[in-house]
Amino acid sequence: MRDRNRFILAGLAAFVLALGAFVSLSGLRPDTRPVVLIGEAVFPDHSAGHSAGLNAANAVGIRFSFATRDPWIQGERDDFIVNVDATPGSGVASVNLTTLILYLERPAMPRRDIVNSDLVLLESRGANRWISMDGLVVIYPNSDVSGSNFFLAVALSLNVDYTNGQSYGWGGWDPGVRIISPNILPDYTPIGLMMVAGGSAGLIFVAATWKFARSNVPATPKSDGAN
């Protein structure tokens, strides 16, 4: 192999090695600015029992807020900071939220295709506001899940006391909230590591052939001096 070809091969190997290091060290990932996802629903009037009434004063507005902290990378967990706010009508004496289930779902008919979920207990944090008692809400789908064709859904357990003395509780109420999920980005790390390995192997090959070629160069004989 001529020296010129060795220089070209060494340059290509170095480029592949540098690019692989860039990719494997998350150089292609987006910035880490948090995203806040919002969903809203209304818990209807149940002051008369299971059948929903039409009195808006007995309804409770519910607002779900999920804040992400990092980009969602394929095969990695995603953490959400959850806040739930209630806006009770004038006919509601008090509201108590107890548990929240967050689902990652894939659109499917006729049945829901739940990819992953997490359940947390809720604790009060001020007037008509609740946060997770268990810390972050964690969604950890399988490594083959990626893309943007997903949404977040919730199930909420709550108790409502009305000013007429009645109470009603619902465990696992589905408010019908569907929030578009953050895009689950492909994981380029394995590709980057393969490029690093390939570039390293190329540099080692060039160095080995160069050393071998130099070792086979015949020594220049010394000329005898004139007598």
Q: How far apart are the first and last CA of the chain?
A: 42
Q: Per-residue pLDDT tens for 32-50?
A: 567 888 999 999 999 988 8
Average the pLDDT over 183-204 and give the result: 63
Rg (CA), the chain: 31
Asked if pLDDT for residue 147 goes beyond 80, the answer is: no
In 3D, which of 187, 139, 147 has the Cα closest to residue 25?
187
* pLDDT band at residue 227 under the 50/70/90 scheme: very low
Cis peptide preceding 110, ω within 30 of 0: yes
Q: Which residue has the higher pLDDT, 172 or 189?
A: 172
The whole-model pTM stands at 0.68
The highest-level CATH class for domain 31-185 is mainly beta
Torsion sign over Cα 5, 11, 13, 15: negative
Going through the chain in order, the beta strands assigned E by DSSP cover: 36-43, 60-68, 72-73, 78-88, 92-106, 113-124, 129-132, 137-139, 151-162, 167-173, 179-180, 184-185
* pLDDT band at residue 79 under the 50/70/90 scheme: confident
Pairing type for strands 36-43 and 129-132 reads unpaired
| Structure tokens belonging to residue 175 | 């408010």
Q: Per-residue pLDDT tens for 98-114?
A: 999 999 888 766 677 88
pLDDT at 222: 56
